[in-house]
Amino acid sequence: MEDLDYSLLSQHGDNALWTLLYYAGYLTMGKPLTFALSIPNNEVFTEWQGWLQYSKTYESDSILEMLLQGNLIEFEKELPNMILDILSYHDVPDNLVESNYHLFMIGLFSQAQFRGYKLKSNKESGLGRFDLIIEPTDNAIYQISVIMEIKILKHKNNDEDEYDIIDDETDDEETGHEKIDNEKFIDDETERGLRNKCEEALAQIIEKKYRTGIRTAKLVECGIAFQGKRAYVLSRVLRKERDQWVEDS
């Protein structure tokens, strides 16, 4: 049973998995005609405890959970940290185009399809083509839709490697301070550029009317910007009131 993902037990309607657990002896039938399932004995109960408390969970699943719950403060913080940790600078050369990051994000959120959601990419909506949309089916726990728009921030000078190791040892203390100040300036400038790209992405969602066809009463919109291993996220939660989308405060 090691190959089973027990988080799927929370997804309603997965009768095949319940049947498998029943015939494997991990569940038993209750009173006749009630079809209620229960854990048969203490020994099996110990196994269930181990599965439910299993600490080896995928961080990407937690990221998706934050998004679907509308926990955007954590989502905006943890997604860039996760990308910084996962990607190597060999994966993200300076000439990387938006579609490369697009494919990465599809892979990152692909498990949504196993939790009762539809993942749509590059399809027409409104006046354009959105990057990613996550929509719930009737079996999804959280009845919330997600629209993601992805942007990249080009390096100003593609001849320079952002990830070159800088030798901090210098005999000239003043030059060392100048180097640190310059690095901070570049970091601040990059962050401003990434934030501007995120704002541009959120504005595009409205301008191109990507909300057309969204049927849920709650919606998350994300603008995500990349440069190399750096990522920046701006997001908002909206609710539908009288056919109008209103941003949650």
Listed by start position, the domains of the chain span 6-52, 59-247
pLDDT value for 89: 75
Give long-range contacts, CB 8 A cutoff, 24+ apart: 54-61: 54/6, 57/7, 58/111, 60/108, 60/109, 60/111, 61/7, 61/111
- Compute how many other C-beta atoms are within 10 angstroms of the C-beta atom of residue 190: 18
Q: Which pLDDT value is given to residue 13?
A: 43
Q: Comparing 22-26, 207-211, 236-240, which segment has the lowest mean pLDDT?
A: 22-26
Read off the pLDDT of residues 31-44 as tens digits, 9 standing for 90 and up. 665 667 788 887 77
> What is the C-alpha separation between 81 and 75, in angstroms, rounded?
10
What mean pLDDT do residues 148-154 have?
93
Q: Give the rounded percent of residues in the chain with a pLDDT score beyond 90.
A: 40
To the question of pTM greater than 0.75 for the whole model, the response is: no
Spatial contact of 37 and 18, defined as CB atoms under 8 Å apart = yes
- Percent above pLDDT 70 for the chain: 69
Lowest mean pLDDT among 6-20, 28-42, 106-120, 173-187: 6-20
Q: Residue range 147-161: average pLDDT?
A: 75
Q: What is the dihedral of CA 181, 187, 192, 196, to 10 degrees?
A: 160
Burial class (CB in 10 A: 0-12, 13-18, 19+), 236: middle
For the CA atoms of 17, 23, 25, 31, the dihedral, rounded to the nearest 10 degrees, stands at 90
How high is the pLDDT of residue 18?
66
Decide if pLDDT at 76 tops 70.
yes
pLDDT in tens, 38-70: 888 877 777 666 665 544 444 557 889 899 998
Between residues 34 and 108, the one the model is more confident about: 108
Return d(Cα 238, Cα 217) in angstroms, integer. Answer: 8
